[in-house]
A and B are shown apart, each in its own frame.
Chain A
Amino acid sequence: MLDISIYGDYHTSWCPGCGNHDVLKALKEALAGLDLAPHQVVHVSGIGQAAKAPHYITLNGFNGLHGRCLPPAQAVKLANPSLTVIAESGDGCNYGEGGNHFLAAIRRNVNITLLVHDNQIYGLTKGQASPTTSEGHVTKSQPDGVTNASFNPIAVAVAMRAGFVARAFSGNISHLATMMQEAIRYPGFAMVDILSPCISFNKVNTFGWYKQRCYELGPDHDPGNWDAAMAKANEFGEHIPVGIIWRNNERMALDERVAVCKQGPLGRQSVDMAVLAGIMQSYI
């Protein structure tokens, strides 16, 4: 167990009381518990309040574009599988602007961890509906209530038989840290959708609202059972299950299957001019 102070202590621009603070705390705990030093981890994010996380922790970081945290995260892992890669961003970033990348990442199954701060609203742009905002939820931009059906990331991921699918609540830091560790240990694409209140713009899904509804899945839930996982994935309302919803025990990570990726970091592999000369011969 590493000392948590090695991940630094930063001023954030988050509102006091925002769930993001707890997610950051949990991440530091999870990494320390796994003995992952800052230089062994690459933290990739998009844009939004959640996506500022790499600026508030000492790790290698790639803070890219809105919606685009998954493509670079996967590429980092493919280019150097010895790194632990964590992609972290908001629900708008990952399921809205980045929806296509989310589907592709599930299918590609690179060994990375996706942490989504799901506050069911756009925080940074001040309160518009996100893909996970509930139908009927009134916002300044949706004065008559959200008309789009709410996106269920857990059900989509389970339906696609993603690698590892969990849900957590930022209000329970130790459970959240455990979920993060399980996700990081999982050898493939692992996601944790983290219910994390935005105290400034989401007056419906508040800390109390989540606290009252979230319950931890017990040993009676078998994450290897797809039908059971699908049933839990669809449970969202008065009761919200948190824990490992689904774990695919049959898929192998892409970076484990590609011969060239297993031979060490791509950038460290030699360039053999004799082989290239041979290739040129094939054009003669």
Chain B
Amino acid sequence: MSVQNRHIVIGGAAGQGLVTVGQMLSKGLVRAGYEVLVTQDYMSRVRGGHNTYNIRTGVTPLTGPAESIDILVALNQETVSLHKRALGSDGILILDEGFDAEGLAALHVPFASLAPKAVFQNIAALGVLCSVLGLSKDHAATLVHDSFGKKGQAVIAQNLQVLDEAYAWGEANAASFEKLPSAVSRAPRMFINGNESLALGALAAGVKFCSFYPMTPATSIAQNLITHGRKMGVYVEQVEDEIAALNMGLGASYAGAPTLIPTSGGGFALMTEAVSLAGVMEQPVVVVVAQRPGPATGLPTRTEQADFNLVLYAGHGEFPRAIFAPGTIEDCFFLTRKAFDISEKYQSPVFVLTDQELADRHMGVEPFDLDALPPVAGPDLSDTDAQAYKRYVLTKDGLSPRRIPGYGESIVLADCHEHTEDGHITEDIDMRIAMNDKRMLKEEGMRSEVVPPRFFGADRPDTLLLCWGSTEGAAREAANVLNGQGQRVGVLSFTQVWPLAPEQFLPLLETVPKVVCVEGNKTAQFARLLRQETGFRPHRNILRYDGRPFTASYIIGKLAD
């Protein structure tokens, strides 16, 4: 067990309330000033099965999930058998006194007497956990107020009483377990996950329209826009299929509404024809692809980074696009906002590529500074010289002013064929070439403002872990651990994966003795692109495609192979 940090895993069947306990505890820890990083592991079913809620907490920064467990809370017997091997040698198992600890050091909790009714078991578990960790009872009590506030004083009082007794029981029986070091006091932080952060980023960019068809793990993005959309003036429509979702999105965008379309790989596969439409129509739209393992329905609730090629090449014909790949909860906010800016400025489809691990990863983060945000580009609202307006006028930088129908007298004709400057179908050879060149020119503009990859770790590294998207956290932690052991390991993390600007990173890659690409798929999709674009071939790849997220220990283990 690390002195500074703990990894708590709460396991049980879906529907047993493990998420409630986990969320209350995590939020309490964030409020108390601790670092918190939560990952969720669940099966594609509503009741039963085996799920875990995994909380890493402590006083030193956390960037990614862990594998080895310090405190295992078993809400059923299956949790003990499934996870006992991951429990560290000085770890603790917390379980009901009726369960079998299967030979492990355990704290048997008399839940039947601490919780007069089964519904109070969550709170009893919370009380015991708080006392074991040394989190003050006041923090737990405010959470009870927050959670049950709407249900009235009587319910609050009952829950508080259960909390008191469970906490006291913990104090009396778990005194020998080491508490968390005390946290530094700090300004209030948000307890937020990737999809929530992403939705806030879209709201900060001025999103006004969202059409979606439900698909894990993207659904909660739309759900967040529904929840906050009433206050922020966003219209969200659940549609008949993903084909409708993106075609609708393009209609809304044409009519002037900044638009976000959330989906996952299977849904995105259906959208690819409309991605091509966005390309030729030069219609801005932001599509979020929250990856999960395929092919087809794959592992619906697990994680993977295997849809990179799909997003990179989606759509027939040639047209520019940009792809962002947030690596952190903060990136989800800032890069989604940037995606709207780039999409509008270059009038192109722009993608935010996340995955289940990042979508569901909860952390304590500083509130985003809304005052410091740069502006987001918008359409041409001038309506000057309406008679002469041409939607696709040829320009030196490929950018034609985009006007909005009905905002003035300009006539806006958006078209899916090859077209003339005023949007009419054409077969003319010279116009075809001019229009295709004009569209592709925008890619050069996008390339000139690519977000450079981030570097972490030892300067002049012997080994460089090259990663993109959610893998950054595990790679950073792996580098930290190895550097602590005297190695020289760096991390280069790409948060924009297309277009690439090789001058930003190639000089570094060429000087490092060993470059290792770490990504969540079987075929090293990003490494291949890198080679195709730059001729540089990473010396090694560490790949994971078992549906589980990268952890530092996984990377360190593979490096040692």
Contacts and interface: CB of A to CB of B under 8 A. Distances in A.
B232 A276 contact: yes
B277 interface: yes
A255 B248 CA distance: 15
B425 A79 contact: no
A265 to B, nearest CB: 6
Contacts of A283: 190-192, 196
B367 interface: yes
A278 B417 CA distance: 45
A267 B256 contact: yes
Given A47-B416, A280-B200, A260 B234 contact: yes
A75 B368 contact: no
Interface string B23-53: 0000000010000000000000000000000
Contact of B254 (A40, A52, A72): A72
Contacts, number: 196
Interface in B216-262: 228-235, 237, 239-241, 243-245, 247-252, 254-258
B251 A101 contact: no
A218 B280 CA distance: 47
Interface stretch (A20-28, A58-66, A207-215): A58-66
A64 B280 CA distance: 10
A268 B379 CA distance: 11
A199 interface: no
B188 interface: yes
A174 B552 CA distance: 74
Contacts of A278: 231
A39 B410 contact: yes
Interface in B173-191: 188-191
A263 interface: yes
Contact of A39 (B248, B249, B258, B411): B411
Interface in B274-322: 274, 277, 281
Contact of B209 (A75, A100, A103): A75
Contact of B235 (A72, A101, A266, A281): A266
Interface string A31-71: 00000001110101001000010110011111111001001
Which of B190, B196, B255 is most buried by chain A, counting CB atoms within 10 A of its CB? B255
Contacts of A80: 255-256, 405-406
A258 interface: yes
A265 B274 CA distance: 24
Main secondary structure of the interface of B (DSSP, over half): mixed
Contacts of A281: 367
A216 B371 CA distance: 64
Which of A38, A62, A103 is most buried by chain B, counting CB atoms within 10 A of its CB? A62
Contacts of A265: 255-257, 404, 406-407
What band does the interface of chain A fall in when counting residues whose beta carbon is under 8 Å from B?
35 or more
Interface string A251-284: 0000000111101011111111101111111011
B343 interface: no
Nearest to A51: B416
A266 B256 contact: yes
Contacts of B190: 280, 283-284
A267 B189 contact: no
Nearest to B413: A61
A76 B255 contact: yes
A42 B237 CA distance: 21
A142 interface: no
B251 A75 contact: yes
B207 to A, nearest CB: 9
27 contacts: A42-B405, A52-B425, A55-B415, A60-B412, A61-B415, A63-B413, A64-B251, A65-B247, A68-B244, A76-B405, A78-B237, A79-B209, A80-B256, A103-B240, A104-B239, A104-B240, A266-B235, A266-B252, A266-B256, A267-B255, A271-B203, A271-B204, A276-B204, A279-B232, A280-B200, A280-B370, A283-B192
Given A71-B244, A82-B406, A100-B243, 19 more contacts: A52-B425, A60-B411, A63-B413, A65-B273, A72-B248, A73-B251, A74-B251, A75-B209, A75-B237, A75-B249, A76-B254, A79-B208, A266-B256, A267-B208, A279-B228, A280-B200, A280-B367, A284-B31, A284-B189
